[in-house]
Amino acid sequence: MRILQVSPYDFAVPGGVNAHISHLERQLRRMGHEVYMMAPDTGTGNQQPDNLLRITGAVVPVHYSGSVSRISLAPHVYLRVKAILNELHPDIVHVHNPTVPILPLAVLRHSKSVDVGTFHAYRDSFTLYQVAKPFLKPFMDKLEGQIAVSKAARDAVARYFPRDYRIIPNGVDVERFDGTVTEPFPEFMDGKLNILFVGRLEKRKGFRYLLQAFPLIKAAVPEARLLVAGAFSREARAPYVHYVRRQHLRDVKFIGYISGEDLPRLYASCHVFCAPSTGYESFGIVLLEAMAMAKPVIATNITGYRGTLQHGVQGILVPPEDEHALAEAIIRLLQNPPLRAEMGAQGRVHAEKFSWKRVAVQVVDYYNELYTQRLVELEREPDRGERRYRELTSRVSTWFDPR
């Protein structure tokens, strides 16, 4: 198959959706498929994959629900998308977060392929869907297949757009994240007990509660150390550094960005992994990475994490925004090495169920199902596909065509 994977987000910036696309693309190519990726991109050409179709470098940060998404709102992507699709003729167009402006909408406007959408996001309430439902419905109608990465993500979108959603989870690279073969960083193997946080320092990631819990942890476990890694800026880090200094906290190390090559080594260096997010998580890839590394996980008891982590088996779930509960759970694990080992072993077994190879097989099976369905429909009505395309695109062209 010739498959086009579409991301609305700046491909030069690390993020869950772009990582998902990259892993899926790699597995699909290993399976023998011809795969392209399309995205806005502010990176340089020699840093990006050869099969990345760069739509534009014009990207703007959009703040929403405590997070920042770097997307393109440039109208000129419309004509570039049209030209690429006319030349590429993919069998499958797979759009991730298909309602995010502007690239996914332009792709769905022009695509004559079998269109598939994956919904990654979770919100208790989607203001965008509430306000823009009439506008978005024609684009949703162009999708012949709908994937959600979790029940939480499915329920969030199905409330506004009822459809038959296929749940295919995020994956984890179990070969790369393998605690049995990964060497930790020697500088962190000095007798201290390391608590690891990986993520951006956005409000919804809940790092402030972990930092507020750390004095309580240090009082009970003096050898505890907090490692903080992620693609965060100096400005994002500044208030937390100020808090550490004001509280005279020792053993808080802000590592910052860490490469994909070194990330498994960082997991290997920790004794407990903590994900204190306050909400808006649909799945929890970092939880899977930690579990694949056979590390026990402390996470908040939010919708997206409950579907990934079994409380008391691979780790412990605690109430969100509760530094005392976080501290109690972390202290419990730091003081109990056998329990850490047992939960870590259970985590590795659980993570193997989410290997990217298994995920890719599920995705391709769904592609085949949808493509076969399209062929059957065309055999019954040879001109149905073209008529359906004209009907659906006519409903969105009045606002989209740059006239």
Tens-digit pLDDT profile for residues 9-32: 999 988 889 999 999 999 999 999
Q: What is the pLDDT of residue 398?
A: 46
258 membership: H or E segment, kind and range: none
Q: Could you tell me the CA-to-CA distances from 118 to 8, 21, 109, 127, 132 in Å, in that order?
A: 12, 10, 17, 19, 19
3-state secondary structure of 61: strand
Between CA 94 and CA 5 the distance in angstroms is 5
Q: What is the pLDDT of residue 403?
A: 38
Between CA 173 and CA 184 the distance in angstroms is 18
Q: What is the pLDDT of residue 238?
A: 96
Residue 146's DSSP bridge partners are 117, 165
**What is the DSSP-derived secondary structure letter of residue 212?**
H
SS (H, E, C) the chain: CEEEEECCECCCCCCHHHHHHHHHHHHHHHCCCEEEEEECCCCCHHHCCCCEEECCCCCEEEEECCEEEEECCCCCHHHHHHHHHHHHCCCEEEEECCCCCCHHHHHHHHCCCEEEEEECCCCCCCHHHHHHHHHHHHHHHHCCEEEECCHHHHHHHHCCCCCCEEECCCCECCCCCCCCCCCCCHHHCCCCEEEEEECCCCHHHCHHHHHHHHHHHHHHCCCEEEEEECCCCHHHHHHHHHHHHHCCCCCEEEEECCCCCCHHHHHHCCCEEEECCCCCCCCCHHHHHHHHCCCCEEEECCHHHHCCCCECCCEEEECCCCHHHHHHHHHHHHCCHHHHHHHHHHHHHHHHCCEHHHHHHHHHHHHHHHHHHHHHHHHHCCCHHHHHHHHHHHHHHHHHCCC
Between the CA atoms of 246, 249, 251 and 252, what dihedral angle is there, to the nearest 10 degrees?
Answer: -40
Q: Strand 193-198 and strand 252-256: pairing?
A: unpaired
State which residues of the chain have pLDDT below 50.
398-403
**Phi, psi angle pair for 334, to nearest 5°:** -65, -30
Domains detected in the chain: 2-171+355-400 (3.40.50.2000), 186-352 (3.40.50.2000)
Q: What is the pLDDT of residue 394?
A: 58
Q: What is the pTM of this model?
A: 0.85
Radius of gyration of the chain (CA): 22
